[in-house]
Structure 1
Amino acid sequence: MPTPTIVAESLVKRFGRHRALDGVNLEVPRGHILGLLGPNGAGKTTTVRVLSTLLAADSGRAEVAGYDCATEPAAVRSTMGLSGQYTSLDENLTGRENLHLVARLYGYSRARARERAARQLDRFGLTDAAHRRAGGYSGGMRRRLDLGGALIADPRVVVLDEPTTGLDPRARRDTWETVRGLVADGTTVLLTTQYLEEADQLADSIAVIDHGRVIATGAPAELKRRVRGERVEIVLADPADAPRTVHLLAGVGPSVSEAEPGRVELVTRDGSRALLEVLHRLERAGIPVADAGTRKPSLDDVFLSLTGQSGVDQPDTTDDPAPAGALS
């Protein structure tokens, strides 16, 4: 087996009495995207900060590109690009000046720094705004500029912590294509996200973390196969009918619940047969249906079955009390 590019062994990190990491183990091969999923406060951001040398673990071992995060932090940083939850931009500088500064901090000459900055501005569609102060950028533009800085030195390892938060759907998909291009060139990516579609689209494998521990790992398809049963989804014409519908459908499958206002979900072994039974019962009861159908388990079902929570499209801001930071 090839040597993994990212290794975490039995990582423990405490903040006072709170055990943010409780023995985290991870391995990420070269040219691989690992999606790190978990509810708010699970330990995702703490893991990222330890691997990027922004925090020291209390015990355990972390290694990136063959370098020990505790004893060789400068070497780790030289191989890594990091885009955190919050953009690390100087709002008084223009977009071009921000990227030029990052390139100079990486040790490039002034001429090479200008070339690198121009390349990233073009790559992320910011050339027309290059002369504007970053403080006047929209949230999506700020995120793209931050990603440009993280990738300016063509790092061997890229850590993306909630990388598409605040981006519109088109910009998010453009970012996905950029990440896929990195991996095609052999870059290793550690991705934390709460957009489960993003993890499904990008990740070669997924690690689910909860209460500071990795509780499941595998490819997205493999994890979805572990969640048994099909789902029957009913969208009611009147959301007020949901409690009555849940009671009426009890027994059609192993479980039935109101997944969200006006949408009832039923887990069953035979989706087609259960759907016919559901529609028949609702018709007899005079409960109007706006939409109905069956589907296979999704990553959201995996997330729910493992953590007891549904995936939510919002950034993780409660992981630990440590301040956000950037590589330097």
Structure 2
Amino acid sequence: MRRTPLLAVTGGVLAVLAAAALSVLVGARSVDPSAAWQALTAFDPAVTDHVVVRARVDRTLAGIAVGASLAAAGAAMQGMTRNPLADPGILGLNAGAAAAVVVGIYALSISRVVEFMAFAFVGAAIGTALVYAVASLGRDGATPVKLALAGAALTAGLGSLVNALVLLDQESLDRLRFWQVGTLGARGLGDIATVGVFMALGVVIVLLATGTLNALALGDDAAVGLGVHVARSRVVLGAAIVLLCGAAVALAGPVGFLGLVVPHAARLVVGGDYRRIMPVALLMGPVLILVADVVGRVIAPPAEVQVGVMTALIGVPVFIALIRTRRQVGL
């Protein structure tokens, strides 16, 4: 049953707050809520629980930023390409950004988040351009199926390049091994703030373009009939998606599957209007990634499973359930 936008957004805000609380309190070492409050209001570096809470707060903020960015990017990609399988991972953006960062690590020994972000932006932009160029070849142009195939091919090719570079250099392997599978625990508050500026810009652009996404989802001819400049709109939306994906990859590594699952879940809740889908997706994305991160911390203590692995493990059954539900309700 579809909810009203206000009810869905209210529920989403409450879910984000609950997931954030879990992220701060639950892990290999559980923290009492009173100790967490003291850590936030009267931090004492000599108290272990306070140090743990501060680290988890940074991790939680990173999860909220990355989850919202990837969810918004996935929703925008699905509307712009009219492809229900569009996702930063499937269409090659994450692979392009990750490959560029690995090249930077191998060739220039980059390590700061600003450097990661610059390389990730360039890689995501090049990956987007290559996928669209390859998919545009032929009589029918860039159809949804051709976009997915081109993205899969690019992801496979760049994945081989990344593996080759990592095997050639032990230092690159040491820097990359956790980042490559997606992790929220590698960056501090300053890094999150730096990357967050670009994420916020990308989110604002896609929120302002929700009406355009509705038109593009109807097809190019219908969009032109509604007064949309299709080429210009795709360039602007593509730039926003590159900002969102590049910043997310720079902060947490290539976290997959979230950008595919969340827009479908939002569509099931509020219908096919992107003016409703986008705000709900911006709330669902952080919930999914924070829950995945918490589960990854508690299933094998004191070790942890990185969030990029957990989003796939949780996302696959969720996506299958969504597909079954959508079929049952005739969507």
Which category describes the TM-score, using the shorter chain as reference length? Answer: under 0.3
Compare the two structures and name the one with the higher strand fraction: 1
Compare the two structures and name the one with the higher helix fraction: 2
Greater RCO between the two (CA within 8 Å, min separation 6)?
Answer: 2
TM-score if structure 1 supplies the norm length? 0.26
